[in-house]
């Protein structure tokens, strides 16, 4: 009897360690059946290279009266499965160009690429998370007058992020048109894959004509507090203010430190705001809470808010 119970217990654990899921992919015209079947074969081979993953059944199924959809059912370890990353582009050509790098980007992140496609102007990348990583995106920050400047910035940020084991995936430059002047500008969109413990944060800070001069002090402060600084840049702000904005990118510390923002009471002049900010910074420092960065944020012509980014020590 005990032996039978042991067999049942063992069998339960074997079956409980796997799960079945459905995969639903690209929608094709019926005339594109050959391409659909080719993509299915590629996805099948990529999925089954990963231990514990098996296709149960699949192919190109009817989707309405004049379309097909790539789909399959598959077995995978419990707690895992095929994941996806999406990015929207301004046009189909840009989407297709990015799609050419999809497999390479996922491979560089040490995950298993499955299948990617452009549906209209949205790029979808499917992959199996074999390296226990997380896909993240930074908020929008800064703008460039030229596409070349934006692309160059992203290339530099990609290399800097790589030093901290963050892999850029479908990062791109989004094109916008200024409503007032009808002029094009480009905004970087940075997406990356990293270990769940490695996460980047952005401070879109002070706007002034002295951004470059402030950079050494910012770098020194972060270094003194053992906070990994990924990048300090001077970019045109997303709003229409004149000057350059300090864009600071750093890694969230995992050593008992917690970085957060303090937002003071609104004032009606920059001068009053800066006086309040000096007092706020002194108060934090006297209490043993180190201020990493501080500035007065202009909300409107008569509204200014003091902001201090400081370190809380978690006991």
pLDDT per position as a tens digit, 140-178: 999 999 999 999 999 999 999 999 999 999 999 999 988
Q: Whole-angstrom Cα distance, residue 104 to residue 116? A: 11
pLDDT at 182: 75
Q: What is the DSSP string of 100-152?
A: TTHHHHHHHTTSEEEEEEEETTEEEEEEE--S-EEEEEPPP--BBSSHHHHHH
Structure tokens at 58: 């699949």
pTM over the 0.75 mark:
yes
Q: For residue 315, what pLDDT is reported?
A: 63
Q: What are the residue boundaries of the structural domains of the chain, listed by start?
A: 18-74+81-131, 134-255, 256-315
Residues 26 and 86: beta-carbon distance below 8 Å: no
Q: How confident is the model at residue 314 (pLDDT cuts 50, 70, 90)?
A: confident
Instruction: Tell me the average pLDDT across 46-56.
Output: 96
pLDDT given for residue 6 in this prediction:
43
pLDDT tens digits, 71-109 = 999 999 998 899 999 999 989 999 999 999 999 999 999
Identify which of 192, 151, 152, 157 has the alpha carbon closest to the alpha carbon of residue 172.
151
**Whether the predicted pLDDT of 185 surpasses 90:** yes
Amino acid 286: pLDDT: 93
Asked whether residue 7 carries a pLDDT value surpassing 70, the answer given is no
Q: Token pair 């596409």 is at which residue?
A: 147
Instruction: Write down the pLDDT at residue 136.
Output: 95
pLDDT in tens, 235-265: 999 887 889 999 999 999 988 889 999 999 9
How high is the pLDDT of residue 181?
A: 66
pLDDT confidence tier of residue 133, bands split at 50, 70 and 90: very high
| Whether the predicted pLDDT of 211 surpasses 80 | yes
Checking if the pLDDT of 10 tops 50, the result is no
pLDDT given at position 177:
87
Q: What is the pLDDT of residue 4?
A: 45
pLDDT at 8: 41
Backbone region of residue 228 per phi and psi (left: phi > 0; alpha: psi in -120 to 50; beta: other values): beta
- Grade residue 3 by pLDDT with cuts at 50, 70 and 90: very low
Element (H, E) at 76: strand 67-77
């Amino acid at each position: 009897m005990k032996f039978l119970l042991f067999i049942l217990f063992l069998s339960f654990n074997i079956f409980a360690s796997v799960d079945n899921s459905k995969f639903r992919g690209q929608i094709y015209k019926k005339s594109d059946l050959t391409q659909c079947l080719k993509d299915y074969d590629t996805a099948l081979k990529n999925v089954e290279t990963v231990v514990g993953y098996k296709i149960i059944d699949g192919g190109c199924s009817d989707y309405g009266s004049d379309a097909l959809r790539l789909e399959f059912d598959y077995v995978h370890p419990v707690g895992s499965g095929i994941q996806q990353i999406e990015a929207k582009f301004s046009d189909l050509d840009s989407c297709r160009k990015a799609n050419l790098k999809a497999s390479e980007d996922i491979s560089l992140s040490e995950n298993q690429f499955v299948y990617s496609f452009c549906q209209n102007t949205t790029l979808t990348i499917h992959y199996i998370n074999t390296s226990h990583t997380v896909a993240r995106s930074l908020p929008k920050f800064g703008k460039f007058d030229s596409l070349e400047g934006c692309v160059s910035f992203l290339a530099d940020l990609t290399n800097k992020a790589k030093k901290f084991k963050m892999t850029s995936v479908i990062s791109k430059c989004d094109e916008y048109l200024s409503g007032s002047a009808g002029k094009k500008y480009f905004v970087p969109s940075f997406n990356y894959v990293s270990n769940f413990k490695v996460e980047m944060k952005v401070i879109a800070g002070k706007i002034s004509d002295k951004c470059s001069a402030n950079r050494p002090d910012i770098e020194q402060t972060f270094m003194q507090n053992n906070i990994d600084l990924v990048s300090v840049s001077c970019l045109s702000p997303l709003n229409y203010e004149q000057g350059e904005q300090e864009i600071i990118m750093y890694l969230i510390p995992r050593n008992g430190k917690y970085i957060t923002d303090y937002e003071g009471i609104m004032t009606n002049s920059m001068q009053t705001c800066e006086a309040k900010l000096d007092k706020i910074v002194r108060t934090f420092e006297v209490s043993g809470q180190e201020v990493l960065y501080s500035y007065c944020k202009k909300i409107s012509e008569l509204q200014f808010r003091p902001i201090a980014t400081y370190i809380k020590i978690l006991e």
